[in-house]
Amino acid sequence: MTTREQAAALDARDPLAPLRELFTLPPGVIYLDGNSLGALPKATPARIARAVEQEWGQGLIASWNNAGWIDLPRRLGDRLAPWIGARAGEVLVADSTSVNLYKVLHAALQLQQGKRKIVVSERSNFPTDNYIAQSVVRSHGGELILADSPEDIPPLLDERCAVLMLTHVNYRSGRMHDMALLTRWAHQAGALAVWDLAHSAGAVPLDLLGAAADFAIGCGYKYLNGGPGAPSFVWMHPRHQGQVWQPLTGWLGHAAPFEFSPEYRPAAGIQQYQCGTPAVLAMTGLDSALDVFDEAAKLGGMGALRAKSLALTEAFIAEIDARVPTAWVATPREAALRGSQVSVALPSDIDSYAVMQALISRGVIGDFRAGTPALLRFGFTPLYTRFVDVVDAVSVLADVLATEAWRTPEFQRRSAVT
């Protein structure tokens, strides 16, 4: 257990502490939901206002060229590349994670030329991944096979498996897969590996090229702090360039969109994964958020972020063990298996949804995920979370449980988003 004084001392020694100043965080709020929606970088409102008022308002359509709007998908991809273990020119920012998954999964199945049609994933994968996979396998006459646990995955990697599709850090448990190992096993079986980095990018070390992964996609609005609905990113290993078409063959994925040719001709490389017109204002939010990562790079980069993230999650688990002994920590205690969140299950006679509402009413913002067991999720973005936040959040949780404050009727009312 850590005292508040010890936590404050850890914050005082934290080399990443200055990064918190780059975010707007409401006073009195402990924000532990950056794994779902990252906080607002202070520079973003002025940056978006400039894009609206000057680039759009004054520059009008000329801003596609003069303000570089047309280059945003590639430029942001280049900025993101080092954080995911890719090279400049290999990453594109466009569309949503669901849409990008659709593109890469189709492409991966095409690479198998109809010889293999089975996609293997996990039952506990984020639903959109499995829903998209269901649609893609249906159109290829294939099948989606879901493993019930990570240990059940390797036996499914056989001569029928076309694609192993996994989310690197599980959205419920916060458990992290070994990307290099699973990719190797998939390849040994003749399958391809598609990785969803929604809960990884900006929070844990990633080495797509080192792992020799085939495709990857991920969210811009979680640990990357691009803003609600920020665009997603997509990466393809260069060895697959020019081998297949992604299915959403829009004009901006054409080799020469401004020829306005009636015949589709794919652009080389990752550019082909752009479909239509980029959402410039949303891209601008992500561009601004990546400035924070430039600052993080100066303070130790991903090594420092990961070290702090693990220290925060470890401290949180220790606090839960000490102060909420009836809780079960659903996230692995082994650092190598842990992303940057901790999920906690409470005894079944406690309404976890109401507990989270009670926490939120006291300024501790995490979220709730229904299921068996129902989970309280707490994300620990190393860019702005402090060690005192860990201690204070668990104090509030312990108090909400001890006083049964969660039984208050207003906390039982369900909103559309949990």
Ligand X SMILES: Cc1ncc(COP(=O)(O)O)c(C=O)c1O
Structure-derived torsion over alpha carbons of residues 409, 412, 413, 415, reported in degrees to the nearest 10: 150
Write out the binding residues for ligand X, residues 178-207 only, by CB under 6 A. Answer: 196, 198-199
Q: Which is nearer to ligand X, 79 or 172 (CB)?
A: 172
| 24 among annotated binding-site residues | no
Q: Which is nearer to ligand X, 32 or 358 (CB)?
A: 32
Asked if 335 and 314 touch (Cβ cutoff 8 Å), the reply is yes
Q: What are the tokens at 360?
A: 């939120």
Give the phi and the psi of residue 61 in degrees, each rounded to 5: -65, -20
Asked about 377 being catalytic, the answer comes back as yes
CB of 407 to ligand X, least distance (A): 29
Helix (H, G, I), strand (E, B) or coil at 342: strand
Per-residue contact flags (x/-) with ligand X for residues 79 to 118, judged by CB under 6 A? -----------------xxx--------------------
Which residue in the list 74, 79, 377, 386 is annotated as catalytic?
377
Rg for the chain, CA atoms, rounded: 22
Q: Which is nearer to ligand X, 81 or 219 (CB)?
A: 219
| 387 among annotated binding-site residues | no
Does 274 contact ligand X by CB under 6 A?
Answer: no
Helix (H, G, I), strand (E, B) or coil at 216: strand
- Beta pairing partners, 164: 120, 193
Q: What are the tokens at 21?
A: 């100043």
| 2 among annotated binding-site residues | no
CB of 135 to ligand X, least distance (A): 14
CB of 67 to ligand X, least distance (A): 26
Which residue in the list 74, 103, 172, 222 is annotated as catalytic?
222
Q: Enter the DSSP assignment of 21.
A: G
| 167 among annotated binding-site residues | yes
Q: Which is nearer to ligand X, 55 or 196 (CB)?
A: 196
Q: How far apart are CA 378 and CA 340, in angstroms?
A: 9
Per-residue contact flags (x/-) with ligand X for residues 296 to 335, judged by CB under 6 A? ----------------------------------------
Please calculate the CA angle 13-169-353 and round it to the nearest 5 degrees.
85
What distance, in Å, lies between the first and last C-alpha atoms of the chain? 30
Establish how many alpha carbons lie within 13 A of residue 82's alpha carbon, considering only the half-sphere containing its beta carbon.
10
Q: Among 7, 144, 219, 290, which residue sits at the site for ligand X (rule: CB under 6 A)?
A: 219
- Residues belonging to the chain: 418
Q: How far apart are CA 305 and CA 307, in angstroms?
A: 6
Asked about 369 being catalytic, the answer comes back as no
Asked if 379 and 366 touch (Cβ cutoff 8 Å), the reply is yes
Asked about 126 being catalytic, the answer comes back as yes
Does 171 contact ligand X by CB under 6 A?
Answer: yes
Asked if 128 and 171 touch (Cβ cutoff 8 Å), the reply is no
Query: How many residues at the interface with ligand X, by CB under 6 A?
Result: 13
CB of 226 to ligand X, least distance (A): 11
Q: Among 2, 112, 167, 341, which residue sits at the site for ligand X (rule: CB under 6 A)?
A: 167
Q: How far apart are CA 342 and CA 329, in angstroms?
A: 7
Does 357 contact ligand X by CB under 6 A?
Answer: no
Q: Which is nearer to ligand X, 63 or 97 (CB)?
A: 97
| 173 among annotated binding-site residues | no
Q: How far apart are CA 130 and CA 138, in angstroms?
A: 12
Q: In 20-96, which residue ranges form alpha helices assigned H by DSSP?
A: 44-50, 63-66, 72-84
Which residue in the list 221, 273, 293, 387 is annotated as catalytic?
221
Q: What are the tokens at 418?
A: 């949990």
Residue 307, amino acid: A
Establish how many alpha carbons lie within 13 A of residue 216's alpha carbon, considering only the half-sphere containing its beta carbon.
32
CB of 132 to ligand X, least distance (A): 9
Asked about 349 being catalytic, the answer comes back as no
CB of 199 to ligand X, least distance (A): 6
Write out the binding residues for ligand X, residues 116-155 only, by CB under 6 A. Answer: 126, 128-129
Which residue in the list 14, 33, 78, 196 is annotated as catalytic?
196
Binding residues vs ligand X (CB under 6 A): 96-98, 126, 128-129, 167, 171, 196, 198-199, 219, 232
**Binding residue numbers for pyridoxal 5'-phosphate:** 97-98, 126-129, 167, 196, 199, 221, 251, 277
**Binding residue numbers:** 97-98, 126-129, 167, 196, 199, 221, 251, 277
Tell me the catalytic residues: 126, 196, 221-222, 377
